[in-house]
Amino acid sequence: MRPSVSGEFVAAAAFTMATPPRQAKPSRRRQCRRCYRYRHGIDIDIDSGNSNSNGNGNGNGNSSRHRYHPHLRRTPYERSSNYPLEVPQGGSMSTNMKRLMTAALGAALAFGALSARAASFDCAHAANAAERAICGTPALGELDVRMAAYYEMLQNARPADEGMAYREFRDALRDEQQRWRQRTRDACGARIDCLTNAYTARIAALRGVAAERLVLRMTGGSAASAGAADATYAIEGESITLANGESVRPAAPGSAMKRVTTLVARSAVATIAGRPVEAVLLSDDPGGSGRFLYVATAQPGGGAPAVLLGDRVKPVSVSIERAATGGAVVVVEYLDRPEGAPFAQAPTIKIVRRFALEQGRLVEQRG
């Protein structure tokens, strides 16, 4: 998008005035006196060499020291940036003039920045009728820039728990964006109303995904600690309420042995169906031999019942992601030992398991 003529004049004036004044070369004045006089407003006929002043003393324009300079055929107002405006010898710019030039420069730069963002792509290389229509319609260009901002935000986000699920989401988002360009946007051609509707719908979709995904990134630590550490969980049919991430109670009525349940890992918060949901790993020591690791969810009104992962395994991480269908997927990583190995052997085998949150229950995804 080219600025108006007045915009070009302001930008050119601001640029040349902001350039440090260049002193005229005395040698050039001596070598081409007529050029010097012409630049300073003294009438002269370049072709004939005649002027209304004696110039070099004879007034006939036949001085051997004069040379023909085609660039001087321009008027003073047509000078290029190769000849910046000069401060007269012995003088200086006033404070008001400097302020004026500073303001003009700022306005020119701001105007140039706006015009440069006519669209999220280079309009000089518009590939089809849809892109040419976007570049030629300011309202469509603004929609294109907004849509690109949401898309880049999602592509460049770094969630607290960067796992395979989120990388897969970004890859799927990139493919979906490419399909939208080819099958929806480009199919509109140069029809303004079709392009407007396509961009409006796409922006709304990306904005909704951004709100959900960026909440997962920003609310990680504090939101999780406030909910999961004091929630009630269902472990093997028994309700266990934590206080500051731990529950200690008798292993059996009248028994001196204690059953200890501890929150050992938690995910960031995801919003599922309008409700905050956290995935957690719980260690349950019933007071005998064994320490069992469970995965569960914490949410208002009660989370999904805990699912057993293993006995005396080492927890690594837990995360929760939105599924493409709108639900949630809990990803658990822990270390286990080879099958048949004694419990005294340290767990070293990495295990990753995925659970879909369906109707308030965790259902493992296999294959």
**Residue 141 to residue 151: CA distance in whole angstroms:** 15
Q: From CA 85, how far away is CA 88, in angstroms rounded?
A: 9
- Give the angle 98-114-211 at the CA atoms, nearest 5°: 130
Please return the burial class of 269, using the count of CB atoms within 10 Å of its CB with bins 0-12, 13-18 and 19+.
buried
Contact in structure between 336 and 347 (CB atoms under 8 Å)? yes
DSSP of 15-74? HHHHSPPPPPPHHHHHH-HHHHHHHTT--B-TTT--BSS-TTTT-SS--TT----GGGGS
User: pLDDT at position 216, please?
Assistant: 42
CB neighbour list of residue 192: distance below 8 Å, 6 or more residues apart:
133, 137, 140
β-partners of residue 105 are: none
DSSP state of 183: I
Contact 346, 318 (CB under 8 A): no
pLDDT at 224: 40
The neighbour count for residue 281, using CB atoms within 10 Å, is 24
Which pLDDT belongs to residue 157?
A: 65
Could you give the CA distance from residue 187 to residue 197 in angstroms, rounded to a whole number?
12
Phi-psi region of 141 (alpha: psi -120 to 50; beta: other; left: phi over 0): alpha
Q: What angle, rounded to 10 degrees, do the helices at 138-156 and 164-180 form?
A: 160
- The CB density around residue 65, as the number of other CB atoms within 10 Å, is 10
Q: Residues 178, 183, 188, 194: is their CA dihedral positive or negative?
A: negative
For the whole model, what pTM was predicted?
Answer: 0.41
The answer to whether the beta carbons of residues 215 and 209 sit under 8 Å apart is no
Determine the straight-line distance between the first and last CA of the chain, rounded to whole angstroms.
53
353 beta partners: 332
Cβ pair 258, 250 in contact under 8 A = yes
Residue-wise pLDDT for 155-213, tens only, equals 776 554 455 566 777 888 889 999 999 999 999 999 999 999 999 999 888 877 766 65
Show the low-confidence residues of the chain (pLDDT under 70): 1-117, 157-166, 210-226, 325-326, 367
- Rounded to the nearest 10 degrees, how much is the dihedral formed by the CA atoms of 22, 28, 32, 37? 30
Name the one residue in this structure whose structure tokens are 């004879």.
Answer: 58
The alpha helices in the chain, defined as continuous H runs, are 5-18, 26-31, 33-39, 95-116, 129-136, 138-156, 164-180, 192-218, 220-228
pLDDT at 120: 85
Whether 119 contacts 10, CB under 8 Å = no
Q: Tell me, what's the pLDDT at 271?
A: 78
